Structure 1
Amino acid sequence: MKLFRKHVVSGLSAIVGLLCIMMAISMVYAAQNNNTGEAMQGMGGENDLASMKNMTLEMINNTNQDLESMKVNANDTTIANINDYISELEYIKSNVEIADSIEALNTERTSLDELFKTMNGTIGFGFPMNGEKPNMSGMGDQAGPGSSQMPQMGNQTGPGPVMGNQSGSGPSQMPQMGNQTNGQPPMQGNGSAMMGSPEQNTEQVQNSSEESGIFAKIIGFFKSLFSSDSAAISSTTTTTTSDSSAYTQSGETLSKSDMEITATNTDESAIKVTDGGSFTLSDSTITKTGDTSSTDNSDFYGLNAGVLSESGSNIELSNCTVTTNANGANAVFATGSGSSITLSDVKIETSQDGSRGVDATLGGTITCTDVDISTQGAHCATIATDRGSGTITVTGGTMTTAGDGSPAVYSTGNITVSDATLTATGSEAAVIEGKNTITLNDCIITGMKKCGAMLYQSFSGDAEVGTSVFTMNGGSLTAAVGPLFYSTNTNAVFNLNGVELTGNSDTLLTASADRWGTEGSNGATVAFNANAQLLDGNITCDNISSITVTLHNGTTLTGAINTENTAGMMALNIDSSSTWNVTGTSYLTTFTDDDSTLSNIDDNGYTIYYDSSNSANSWLESKTYDLNDGGKLTPISS
């Protein structure tokens, strides 16, 4: 009997929570369809973009205020989650402010919808229901008394709470939903809640089969609550028993083995652990089909992932296979501060677009040991971090990608890979966006398209603005086409230590403007540091970019530098143990050489020009120097 009461209480709690979500989101979404024009009369009588933006911004601002208030008595994990959500709300807010169409605004409201659901599931944040919330009481035509603390929704005259098709009267603490007259429902039918028809008493809205977004999911959940094959709702651990055989766990610590876990529904993970739970699984197969409903929410929050850890939870998989065959189905995903996944002897395969191998966001962490990953679709890096940063550490394994825009490693966080073999057949080998890092130790990595390693900033909001750092120690990097190293629209650092480099073009390094950023200021500022390296290829730079090359510890550079004299700034620093084998006329803004005799320059008869007006070149005393093979080092004005 106690267990029965526990399930009843938990079920009622879930219902109340979901009703709160329905109320608040319905306010934000009241203007989503063209058929709701008259329901916006309280905001000036028009379903216009400005009104919708103002309403959405007010909801975001008030939600941010409530989140800040929640931090006062929260623990460290919850505070970290709240800070992540505030950052996400601010990002959505910035996009709402610049939205120039209903379609653009609806895209942001969909993201807001998903974020609110995540917040409700992780920190218990439904939607505040006090008088401080946005005053949207004008939404819908209404007359008659009522003591609702939330705005009444839908066209109505007369008192009485109505949710879906029902009759009744009396005061209510919940919003009144649906069209009614004197407390009577306007339609009889299947019980679907009708949210404010715009054609009161003249046209019935036939949209029960076209429910979408959050409303469809909430209604579907209500139906499942009373379904005979529905899983019991509890405050601890739950394993779903739906046809998909997906596994969900909230809190608790559990270990299982020899399982076959399959998820087939849209937006459903095969394994999902939340609320600080810990789940260990071995010797099992995990399969995910069913496309995502939102690519952004799959990229940022792990919606529709094969394996998902969120809200400070931990998952450990060993000797398992994870296979996804759906759009927007990342295989293994950790999101949020404190969320982590550890993989050992795991095989991962993804087949469709937007389905990365392992992915961490918003402070999540993933650790892989002897994991093999293969992806086939576009935008499917084998190892990736996305919005809000993440940390991934990989040791061993083989990683291959086949799709366009699918580098082996894509970082908007901190990624370290050791003793692995990585191949991208349809993309660059490795990409860093913004203030983030990739470190490769004794790896064999190959990019078959575009370039070897690219460091850039897209300003999409996925990565903090700052310096990208690519470090490679030992191993090898191969670029089948393009430069081995490329940077645009960011500050970038390349650190190479004893790496075997193979390029099929004659370009080692390029810094230039590209399609990202503001034209005229979207070049790159690059520091290229080589230690004990054999470097082969030219170095090129456009007039809004700059490059500083430093050669140390027996490094040899064979190539020309800035042959067209286009660089905004080009500097070369070389120690006495290193050598420059010049293959063409070169132009340097600044030049320093620890060997004052310049005997470490093999000029091959070419001229090297330097800027005598730059103070860094004062040691050259504006003179012309004859080099060993008939070439010269001379001021650019000579």
Structure 2
Amino acid sequence: MKKSKRLLTSLIVTACLALTAFPASAASEDVIYGKVTKVDGKEVTIAIGTLNQNTGTPGETPGEMPEMLTLTGESSTFTLTDDMAITKASPGQPPEAGTTGGSATATETSAASSEATAADIVVGAVLKITYTTGTDTIASIEIISGSGSPGAAPGGGGGATVSTGAGAYLLADGESLSGGTYSSTNDDENALRAEGAITGHLNGVTVEKTAGTASSSDASSFYGLNAAILALDNAILNITGGSVTATAEGANGVFAYNGATINIKDTTINVTGGNAGGIEVAGGGNLYASNLTVNSTVKAAIRSDRGGGTMVVDGGTYTTSGSTGAPAVYSTADITINDATLNAETSEAIVVEGLNSVTLNNCTVSGNMTGSTGNSDADNIHNVMLYQSMSGDAEVGNSSFEMTDGSLTANSGDMFYVTNTESQIALSNVDLTLAADSNLLTVAGNDGSRGWGTAGSNGGKCSLTASKQTLTGDIAVDAISTLDLILQDSSTFTGSINSDKTTAATLKVTLEKGSSWKLTGDSYITEFDGDASGLDTNGYTLYVNGVAYDGDLAATGNINYATHVQNIGWQNAVSDGALSGTVGQSLRLEGITIESGIDGLGIEYATHVQNIGWQDYVADGTVSGTEGQSLRLEAIKIQLTGTQADKYDVYYRVQVENLGWLGWASNGAESGTAGYGYRLEGIEIVLVEKGTAFDTGSAAFYETAA
């Protein structure tokens, strides 16, 4: 398991400060603590944390962040080996706290530990991991809370017992059931269950879970306790047709847990029990659905929970109603949905938590959030939310929502809401319908009353990329949040940004060539980049860092050019010998556009691109190179065309990795390098009348490797 430099530094500093407290046996070891967020075979992912005081007191509220650790936001993955020393702490013997930065003081619990196995390391468990000092070699692992043994609770208190209950009917390996009704009315019991390394088949089966309560609401969400159908522990279950009815408390419809895979098609699923949804994965489960009809009244029709997994849904209709906590989709996993109808009648449509994703292709989606759970006065009403709850159900990281084609309708609230997380939103050719008097996007902190970070430091970070997309509506970004809005591929945006004069932490708008922004109110941003000719202020004022901007950034020289730069994107156009690109930042040029400012004079240019070679000539403002492929330009050649071409010469020089500025090339000569793999970093272009003296210097303008 790799430890970050910052974490190792913290470990070393803390170990030095507490050296006198360490017993001799621990003096040559580093210790970190972490909570297991994913187990995939022998590969374990943890969220790194610091021990809190009084960790022996269980949390009282299920679903809240466990009291044993305070998560740092860092995560790491390691692989279990057969010879790895694994133990587990005895009940009532938690380690003492008093740590900072991810390392512990030297209180040892080995005397109160017993032997354990890799099977005891489950999602939600809290681990003490000891390394040989200065190495990535794990000396030992101690499970200090939440092992897979009976009665153990994940997360160090306040979590669910790792219990999946029993099955009224347990499928055997290779067994196929056709027709018939399979039911359960007992507590903590699945009506049908596929467990272990087996493959089972259900064809036209009726499954009913009409009574029997889950003893733990968390266990029903995390492990499939009391679900109508549960596949777990690497089982494979194929379901065709039939129906599933689940009306009991904690009875999800169809659930895949702990490496199991469910393939289900042409099935109707109705779920009305408390704390239950339609189809679900958790703990690394996998579910592939086709043409389902799913109705759920309390939780999401398509949902995941602690430990995540993978879901792919093709076609079908997925509807929720009756609860403000029932989005059509709730993701703590990687969920892809194609050609489906998703409708939340009384809740937001989509929720993505933490380092997880929802990808929609040609879907019809609608939401109607009528209120919220908890402190409703503190909540934003919205249609799609990307956030981090800090409950431990989802790893901290970049939340992703991507939608291509189809429609997305908000019947109430803001279309998008981002809080307490980094996020990426990508839209392409989606028909958006906004609710009245609501924003297109709100990126903001929250009051922290629901555990979504600490008020004042729980803002959102959002990158919204629109490609071939029409956007309409206002955008609001508060003072502790950031937005990077990118309009590309002929996208249009009609709306205002921060019209209330709020200054966001950072707020950049990139307007790529061919895209446009029409203001509907005064707007306040911190950076504008790209093609200003696409900006229509419409009688309003755009303020960039508090300074009014008149909307004219277009270059108007004899020759005008712009480059697409690594990590920056398209820069503003410059002209007549000015630098485009960078010097001294080690950033590659990836694309370029060049235009003449003289009537009757045209420009043709071609670039040599990494892994591609010389591209064909393009002309007059067309992009040469690539966008979004992370490929460097290595050389360029430029020549003049048109009726005025015989009256001018074009000179150009490039800044090259490891070589600096090369000499001036002219009139179609190649400038750059061949065979070195060196990136172009900057370019200057000058147009001069024929016969005008121009000092080209003596430096070579093209270098070829031997």
- TM-score bracket for this pair, using the shorter chain length: 0.5 to 0.7
Match of 1:512 among 426, 441, 444: 444
| Contact 1:334–1:359 (Cα < 8 Å) also in 2 | yes
Aligned identity (percent) is 37
Q: Kindly state the Cα deviation for residue 135 of structure 1 after the two structures are TM-superposed.
A: 10
Summarize the alignment of residues 298-309 of structure 1 with structure 2, pairs less than 5 Å apart.
Answer: 298-309=220-231
d(CA) in 1 for partners of 2:63, 2:198: 34
Match of 1:466 among 373, 384, 397: 397
Name the CA shift for 1:87/1:586 in 2 (closer, same or farther; >3 Å). Answer: closer
Using the TM superposition, name which of 572-581 and 416-425 deviates more: 572-581
Q: Kindly state the Cα deviation for residue 519 of structure 1 after the two structures are TM-superposed.
A: 1.7
Counterpart check, 1:371 vs 2:308:
no
Name the CA shift for 1:548/1:349 in 2 (closer, same or farther; >3 Å). Answer: same
Q: 2:180 matched to which residue of 1?
A: 259
Matching residue's letter, 2:465: N
| Contact 1:555–1:578 (Cα < 8 Å) also in 2 | yes
Counterpart check, 1:552 vs 2:472:
no
Matching residue's letter, 1:333: F
Match of 1:578 among 502, 515, 523: 515
Q: Kindly state the Cα deviation for residue 344 of structure 1 after the two structures are TM-superposed.
A: 0.8
Name the CA shift for 1:581/1:613 in 2 (closer, same or farther; >3 Å). Answer: closer
Q: 1:396 matched to which residue of 2?
A: 315
d(CA) in 2 for partners of 1:386, 1:365: 12
Matching residue's letter, 2:357: T
Matching residue's letter, 1:394: V
Match of 2:534 among 594, 600, 608: 600
Q: 2:477 matched to which residue of 1?
A: 541
Q: What secondary structure does 1:452 align onto? A: strand
Name the CA shift for 1:246/1:131 in 2 (closer, same or farther; >3 Å). Answer: closer
| Contact 2:475–2:495 (Cα < 8 Å) also in 1 | yes
Match of 1:561 among 481, 494, 497: 497
Q: 1:357 matched to which residue of 2?
A: 278
| Contact 1:471–1:494 (Cα < 8 Å) also in 2 | yes
Matching residue's letter, 2:430: V
| Contact 2:461–2:483 (Cα < 8 Å) also in 1 | yes
Counterpart check, 1:286 vs 2:223:
no
Q: What secondary structure does 1:560 align onto? A: coil
Q: 1:589 matched to which residue of 2?
A: 526
Summarize the alignment of residues 380-529 of structure 1 with structure 2, pairs less than 5 Å apart.
Answer: 380-402=299-321, 403-449=323-369, 450-504=381-435, 505-514=437-446, 515=448, 516-529=452-465
Q: Kindly state the Cα deviation for residue 602 of structure 1 after the two structures are TM-superposed.
A: 2.0
Could you report, residue by residue, the CA deviation over 1:306-328 in whole angstroms, capped at 9, with x for unpaired residues? 11111110111111101100111
Root-mean-square deviation (Å) = 3.7
d(CA) in 2 for partners of 1:519, 1:131: 38
Q: Kindly state the Cα deviation for residue 104 of structure 1 after the two structures are TM-superposed.
A: 6.7
d(CA) in 2 for partners of 1:132, 1:554: 59
Summarize the alignment of residues 212-231 of structure 1 with structure 2, pairs less than 5 Å apart.
Answer: none
| Contact 2:413–2:439 (Cα < 8 Å) also in 1 | yes
| Contact 2:367–2:410 (Cα < 8 Å) also in 1 | yes
d(CA) in 1 for partners of 2:64, 2:518: 54
| Contact 1:451–1:480 (Cα < 8 Å) also in 2 | no
Could you report, residue by residue, the CA deviation over 1:347-380 in whole angstroms, capped at 9, with x for unpaired residues? 0000122111111111110000101100012xx1
d(CA) in 2 for partners of 1:484, 1:104: 31
Q: What secondary structure does 1:599 align onto? A: helix
| Contact 2:178–2:204 (Cα < 8 Å) also in 1 | yes
Q: 1:167 matched to which residue of 2?
A: none
Q: 2:630 matched to which residue of 1?
A: none
d(CA) in 1 for partners of 2:319, 2:53: 38
Normalising by structure 2, report the TM-score.
Answer: 0.54
| Contact 1:445–1:478 (Cα < 8 Å) also in 2 | yes
| Contact 2:524–2:546 (Cα < 8 Å) also in 1 | no
Q: 1:310 matched to which residue of 2?
A: 232
d(CA) in 2 for partners of 1:97, 1:370: 50
| Contact 2:231–2:255 (Cα < 8 Å) also in 1 | yes
d(CA) in 2 for partners of 1:461, 1:419: 32
Name the CA shift for 1:612/1:214 in 2 (closer, same or farther; >3 Å). Answer: closer
In terms of fraction of residues, the more strand-rich structure is 2
| Contact 2:64–2:391 (Cα < 8 Å) also in 1 | no
Q: What secondary structure does 2:465 align onto? A: strand
d(CA) in 1 for partners of 2:518, 2:391: 41
Q: What secondary structure does 2:414 align onto? A: coil
Name the CA shift for 1:246/1:108 in 2 (closer, same or farther; >3 Å). Answer: farther
Q: How many residues align?
A: 417
Matching residue's letter, 2:453: G
d(CA) in 2 for partners of 1:506, 1:311: 45
| Contact 2:278–2:300 (Cα < 8 Å) also in 1 | yes
Using the TM superposition, name which of 526-535 and 94-103 deviates more: 94-103
Name the CA shift for 1:299/1:551 in 2 (closer, same or farther; >3 Å). Answer: same
| Contact 1:350–1:375 (Cα < 8 Å) also in 2 | yes
Counterpart check, 1:611 vs 2:569:
no
- Show structure 1 runs of 4+ deviating over 3 A: 78-84, 93-109, 130-137, 617-621
Q: What secondary structure does 1:472 align onto? A: strand
| Contact 1:298–1:305 (Cα < 8 Å) also in 2 | yes
Matching residue's letter, 1:583: T
Could you report, residue by residue, the CA deviation over 1:533-587 in whole angstroms, capped at 9, with x for unpaired residues? 1111001011000111111112111110111232221111012211111110111
| Contact 1:383–1:409 (Cα < 8 Å) also in 2 | yes
Q: What secondary structure does 1:388 align onto? A: coil
| Contact 2:358–2:402 (Cα < 8 Å) also in 1 | yes
Name the CA shift for 1:280/1:422 in 2 (closer, same or farther; >3 Å). Answer: same
Matching residue's letter, 1:399: Y
Normalising by structure 1, report the TM-score.
Answer: 0.60
| Contact 1:539–1:562 (Cα < 8 Å) also in 2 | yes
Q: 2:193 matched to which residue of 1?
A: 272
Matching residue's letter, 2:511: I
Name the CA shift for 1:82/1:583 in 2 (closer, same or farther; >3 Å). Answer: same
Could you report, residue by residue, the CA deviation over 1:474-494 in whole angstroms, capped at 9, with x for unpaired residues? 000001111111100000110
Matching residue's letter, 1:528: L
Q: Kindly state the Cα deviation for residue 259 of structure 1 after the two structures are TM-superposed.
A: 1.9
d(CA) in 2 for partners of 1:618, 1:605: 14
Q: Kindly state the Cα deviation for residue 439 of structure 1 after the two structures are TM-superposed.
A: 0.3
Matching residue's letter, 1:433: E
| Contact 1:276–1:312 (Cα < 8 Å) also in 2 | yes
Q: What secondary structure does 1:399 align onto? A: strand
Name the CA shift for 1:503/1:136 in 2 (closer, same or farther; >3 Å). Answer: closer
Name the CA shift for 1:610/1:133 in 2 (closer, same or farther; >3 Å). Answer: closer
| Contact 2:258–2:285 (Cα < 8 Å) also in 1 | yes
d(CA) in 1 for partners of 2:60, 2:332: 28
Could you report, residue by residue, the CA deviation over 1:159-206 in whole angstroms, capped at 9, with x for unpaired residues? xxxxxxxxxxxxxxxxxxxxxxxxxxxxxxxxxxxxxxxxxxxxxxxx
Match of 1:295 among 209, 217, 220: 217
d(CA) in 2 for partners of 1:475, 1:417: 11
d(CA) in 2 for partners of 1:334, 1:279: 13
d(CA) in 1 for partners of 2:269, 2:400: 28
Name the CA shift for 1:429/1:458 in 2 (closer, same or farther; >3 Å). Answer: same
d(CA) in 2 for partners of 1:100, 1:280: 45
Q: 1:340 matched to which residue of 2?
A: 261
Q: Kindly state the Cα deviation for residue 604 of structure 1 after the two structures are TM-superposed.
A: 1.7
Matching residue's letter, 1:572: V
Name the CA shift for 1:371/1:267 in 2 (closer, same or farther; >3 Å). Answer: same
Q: What secondary structure does 1:270 align onto? A: strand
